[in-house]
Amino acid sequence: MAHTDCGHLEQILVSENIPPRPLPDTRNAGEKFWIAAAEGVLLVPKCTACSRTFWHPRPRCPHCGSTSVDWIKATGNGTVHTFTVVRQSGDPYFKTKLPYAVAMIELDEGVRIMSNIVDTPLEVLRIGMRVEVLFEAAPGGIAIPLFRAQSRGA
């Protein structure tokens, strides 16, 4: 575990023995999101014209159409809106992870994103539970944001 300078944020180093996690296409408006994740920072797009956050990253604000889109640093804290535990998969990477949790996380910044909940017993997963981000390093100078149950006192 390589700790970053972001307090509760951690980087998980990928083992070399398992097939790689499927990676996102970064040739789009979200490139900075994945690069920032490698620095231990969770970014959320915010429109400077209408001051609203949105998801997913786009060149134009989906609320007002402005191209004045910037990023804000998210706290990395959120709430589970809904989740599922996946029990079967044909994917070479996810086959090694079964069973695993996929969730929709409502970030405190007001957007809902998909992620995995890791380092958390599956039987404690609940809608409404508080979670915090951590980052898994990936090839190409990016990292994948994941979530886990918030540690006590967070």
Partner 1 sequence: MTQGHLSGQVSVVGAATAGIGWDTRNSVSEIMAEAANKALDDAGLRLAEVDGVFAVTPYYWMPSATLADQLGIQPKVTDSTNIGGASVVAHVGHAVRAIASGQCEVAVIAYASTQRSDGGKLVTGADVLPYERPYGALFPISGYAMVMQRHMHDFGTTREQLAKVTVAASRWAALNPEALKPEPLTVADVLASPLVSDPLRKLDICLVTNGAGAIVLTSTERAKKLRKPAVSVLGTGESHSHCYVTNMRSFTATAGVESGKAAYEMAGLGPEDMDFAQIYDAFTIMVLLGLEDLGFCKKGEGGGMIDAGIGPGSRLPVNTTGGGLRYCHPGMFGIFLLVEAVRQLRKECGKRQVETARCGLVHGFGGVLAGNATVILGVDT
Window 7-66: residues binding partner 1 (CB under 8 A): 21-26, 28, 30, 55-57
DSSP E strand boundaries for the chain: 2-3, 10-12, 43-47, 69-73, 77-86, 100-107, 112-117, 130-138, 142-149
Residue 44 as a binder of Zn ion (CB under 5 A): the answer is: no
**Min dist. Cβ of residue 99 to partner 1 (A):** 8
Residue 122 as a binder of Zn ion (CB under 5 A): the answer is: no
For 90-110, letters b (16+ CB in 10 Å) and e give eeeebeeeeebbebbbbbebe
In a 10 Å sphere around its CB, with 0-12 CB exposed, 13-18 middle and 19+ buried, how is residue 25 labelled? Answer: exposed
**Min dist. Cβ of residue 84 to partner 1 (A):** 4
Site string (53-72) toward Zn ion, x via CB under 5 A: --------x-xx-x------
Q: Residue 133 binds what, of partner 1, Zn ion, none (CB under 5 to 8 Å, by partner type)?
A: none
Mode of pairing for the β-strands spanning 10-12 and 130-138: parallel
**Min dist. Cβ of residue 76 to partner 1 (A):** 16
Closer of 66 and 84 to Zn ion (Cβ)? 66
Residue 151: enclosing H or E segment and its boundaries? Answer: none
Closer of 23 and 72 to partner 1 (Cβ)? 23
